[in-house]
């Protein structure tokens, strides 16, 4: 069976023919020669682009000269070029034809990728086949037609309508911690946030507290590359029900009647929140993106969404960067920032810090402590570090205290917020609660 590739000859001819009427169109056109399906039109379009780059006029005479004798025959002769030049009466519809050319190119690429997936699915590893396929399909979408003309009128109207709404003191997704929300105004949609800490300081516990708080009125999505879904739910139910983490290791043996009541209440409360957890090992960005996009479609614009990734350095990168870890992490960081913007979600990625922290007298993290920090630091809208003095000093006067250090804040102030930390439950609380 011969596979028929989708294309539209008339649209491609109208697209190329328009340049004979107005050669200036080439300067605002983003179609590449390889996006045209018809070979003779591809050759003609390449020659027109070449003429424009040289500053030569685009007409029948100059085009024949640029093509040369051999290519004139390949494109269908002087007669075809003359017919093409006179086939378009106006350039008014040029951008419509340009859009059609791009759409058909996307269709052909999608069909090609689908065929590759079908072929590889028969013999290759299915996980890799699907992951590679999603990667390639996303690449097509990333290069999709951009119809934004830069006009600001609609945005001005939207801005005015937004300013008429009373959003309250916290305009973003609240963290649940008074002073932190005062600094950030809540976590803003489309922001990419990094939370960094040394191992065992409490960054997963902190992220779970944030995710649970957001899931009460909004939606939280957790991608855990280190712990299973049940392990995370055990920790969440532990601090929700204020149950000692040591008891949670073996509830059958350690729970008393009161613990069972608190545990039951916690599970009941968790069954009512908008929380989603994905715990597949070896996740990559396309997998994360596909799950967030699906949930975004399900919830629509009704609920804001907080996405937590635990943690950044465990995400599988593109194999082409395997020899360069910094380039691999940079690519992941850029992709997560793009996802936050395009899907309009808050993305919080946890990050490990380098051992350089341990070598300084003051162990409070700074921006250069981020592993593979260059691109992460540039992409992030907000970078927060977690620091516990009692992590380093056993008899610390600041026992059961966590400093949240806002080291970078693109849209607001930096500063330090001190929280209480009940380590036995894995629960954080605002010290403002004790002061009120």
Active site residue 28: no
Contact criterion met (CB below 8 Å) for 383 and 406:
yes
143: tokens are 């290069």
**CA end-to-end distance (rounded Å), the chain:** 77
Burial classification of residue 282, based on how many CB atoms lie within 10 Å of its CB (0-12 exposed, 13-18 middle, 19 or more buried)? exposed
Of 119, 141, 226, 298, the catalytic one is: 226
Residues annotated as part of the active site: 226
């Amino acid at each position: 069976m011969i596979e028929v590739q989708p294309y539209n000859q008339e649209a491609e001819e109208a697209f190329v023919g328009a340049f004979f009427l107005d050669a200036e169109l080439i300067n605002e056109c983003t179609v590449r020669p390889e996006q045209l399906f018809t070979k003779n039109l591809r050759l003609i379009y390449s020659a027109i682009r070449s003429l424009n780059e040289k500053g030569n006029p685009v007409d029948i005479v100059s085009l024949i000269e640029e093509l040369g004798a051999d290519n004139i025959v390949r494109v269908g002769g002087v007669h075809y070029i003359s017919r093409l030049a006179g086939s378009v009466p106006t350039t008014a519809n040029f951008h419509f034809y340009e859009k059609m050319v791009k759409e058909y190119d996307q269709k052909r690429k999608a069909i090609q990728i689908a065929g590759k997936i079908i072929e590889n699915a028969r013999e290759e590893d299915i996980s890799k086949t699907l992951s590679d396929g999603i990667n390639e399909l996303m690449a097509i979408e990333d290069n999709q037609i951009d119809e934004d003309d830069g006009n600001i009128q609609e945005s001005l109207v939207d801005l005015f309508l937004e300013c008429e709404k009373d959003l309250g003191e916290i305009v973003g997704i609240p963290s649940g911690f008074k002073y932190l929300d005062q600094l950030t105004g809540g976590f803003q949609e489309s922001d990419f946030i990094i939370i960094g800490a040394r191992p065992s300081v409490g960054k997963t516990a902190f992220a779970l507290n944030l995710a649970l708080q957001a899931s009460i009125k909004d939606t939280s999505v957790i991608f855990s590359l280190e712990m299973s879904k049940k392990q995370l739910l055990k920790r969440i139910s532990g601090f929700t029900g204020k149950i000692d983490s040591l008891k949670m290791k073996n509830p059958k043996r350690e729970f008393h009647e009161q613990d069972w009541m608190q545990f039951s209440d916690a599970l009941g409360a968790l069954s009512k929140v908008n929380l989603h957890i994905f715990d597949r090992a070896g996740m990559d960005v396309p997998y994360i993106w596909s799950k967030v996009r699906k949930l975004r479609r399900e919830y629509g614009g009704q609920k804001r969404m907080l996405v937590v990734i635990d943690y950044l350095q465990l995400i599988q990168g593109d194999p082409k960067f395997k020899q360069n870890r910094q380039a691999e992490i940079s690519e992941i960081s850029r992709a997560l920032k793009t996802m936050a913007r395009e899907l309009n979600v808050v993305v919080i990625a946890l990050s490990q810090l380098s051992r350089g922290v341990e070598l300084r007298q003051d162990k409070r993290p700074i921006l250069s402590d981020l592993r593979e920090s260059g691109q992460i630091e540039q992409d992030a809208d907000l970078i927060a570090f977690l620091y516990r003095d009692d992590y380093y000093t056993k008899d610390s006067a600041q026992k059961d205290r966590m400093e949240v250090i806002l080291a970078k804040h693109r849209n607001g102030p930096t500063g330090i917020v001190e929280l209480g930390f009940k380590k036995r439950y894995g629960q954080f609380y605002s010290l403002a609660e004790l002061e009120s």
